[in-house]
Amino acid sequence: MTDHADFSAEAALREVERAQGAVRRAGRRAAMFFLTLWLISTAYWLAALLGPEAVRDYSGLGLFLAVGVVLVARLVFRERVYSRMTARIVYPVTGAFVGTSVLASLYTTFLHPLEPGPQWVVPDVVVTLVAGAPLLYGAVRVLRSENDR
Amino acid sequence: MSHPRHALDEIIHAPVRLSIMAMLAAAETVEFGYLRDTIEVSDSLLSKHLQTLEKAGYVRVTKGFVGKRPRTWLALTDEGRDAFQSYMAVLRQITQAPPSRLDAGTD
């Protein structure tokens, strides 16, 4: 007899569920982090492109990118467990997000007029959505992966 | 006919080692302290079981630093992942099979 002869199959399955639940919760935290950053990104670009002039003057790409990268870095270095999906997508999503943010800033700097007319609303909204798309994609992928388990 | 429980991997089928394997199977990497806190065991007990799993080729241990703090990261090897999947398949076979069928086996 082994020292765990009384460890039933049902108890083993319960323990597997409990242990994996902890990893799922960590994955959901990562998804919530991506979603929060997506909301901040969307609000930022809407304010920077469509907001009143006073708001636009306040917006600075450098500050926004720095905050985003620092927050992502905090997630990467502080989390002590990574779900498989989070580990797989955290760097591609971060890289894509920096890329779309740079594209949005180039659009703002070189194409967007200082006093945009109503015809600029649609392009501005599209740029806003594109800028935050990697974060939303990351959040959905992680949440879907955790819910499927 | 043999009872499916004989197919359970004895290395995995122990409470602490099963908890370790289950967490690592769901994760890419897990930090030693997180694993210890989550499955509520001492450092020494966790180390002992990790050695068993590492010796079996199921777990890969990586040491590193976060800032100046030493950290130990744990992950399943491919062999460990396969072993855990097989173990889970046997568990499900045991829990889902009708008792009469399982009882018909010889020990």
Residue pair B4/B97 in contact by the 8 Å Cβ criterion: yes
Q: For chain B, what is the mean pLDDT? A: 85
CB A134 within 8 A of CB A97: yes
Contact B95 A88 (CB under 8 A): no
Q: Which of B41, B23, B83, B27 is nearest to A15 (CA)?
A: B23
A94 to chain B, closest Cα gap in Å: 18
| Residues in a beta bridge with B90 | none
Q: Is the pLDDT of residue B12 over 90?
A: yes
Count CB-CB contacts under 10 A for residue A36: 13
**pLDDT score at A1:** 38
What is the C-alpha separation between A75 and A32, in angstroms, rounded? 11
Task: Please give the order of strands across the beta sheet that includes B27-31.
Answer: A81-83, B27-31, B69-76, B59-66
Q: Which residues pair with B63 in a beta bridge?
A: B72
- Using alpha carbons, list the distances in angstroms from residue B42 to B11, B32, B36, B38, B77: 19, 11, 7, 11, 24
pLDDT, tens only, B68-94 = 788 899 999 999 999 999 999 998 888
Average pLDDT over residues A55-80: 63
Tell me which chain A residues have a C-beta less than 8 angstroms from the C-beta of B28. 82-84, 86-88
pLDDT(B48) > 90: yes
- Domains of chain A by residue range: 28-148
Confidence (pLDDT) at A59: 61
Do B5 and A15 make contact, defined as CB atoms within 8 angstroms? no
CA-nearest residue to B12 within chain A is A12
The mean pLDDT value for A53-81 works out to 64
Residue A28 in this model has a pLDDT that exceeds 70: yes
d(CA A121, CA A119): 6
Question: Tell me, what's the ipTM?
Answer: 0.78
Identify the pLDDT of residue B60.
96
Contact A13 B25 (CB under 8 A): no
CATH number of B4-96: 1.10.10.10
At B56 the pLDDT is 95
Higher pLDDT, B2 or A139: A139
Six-digit token string for A86: 């989070």
Instruction: Evaluate whether A34 touches B42 at the Cβ level (below 8 Å).
Output: no
Higher pLDDT: B26 or A148? It is B26
pLDDT, tens digit, 9 for 90 and up, residues A85-108: 888 888 899 899 989 988 988 898
Helical residues (DSSP H) of A4-120, grouped into ranges? 9-50, 53-58, 61-78, 84-106
Mean pLDDT of chain A: 81
CA atoms within 13 A on the CB side of A23: 31
Identify from A7, A10, A23, A28 which residue to disrupt to test chain B contact, counting B C-beta atoms within 10 A and taking the largest count.
A23
Neighboring chain A residues of B35 at a CB cutoff of 8 Å: 81
Flag if A26 and B39 touch (Cβ within 8 Å). no
pLDDT tens digits along B58-67: 999 999 877 7
Dihedral angle, C-alpha B42, A15, A82, A100, nearest 10 °: -160
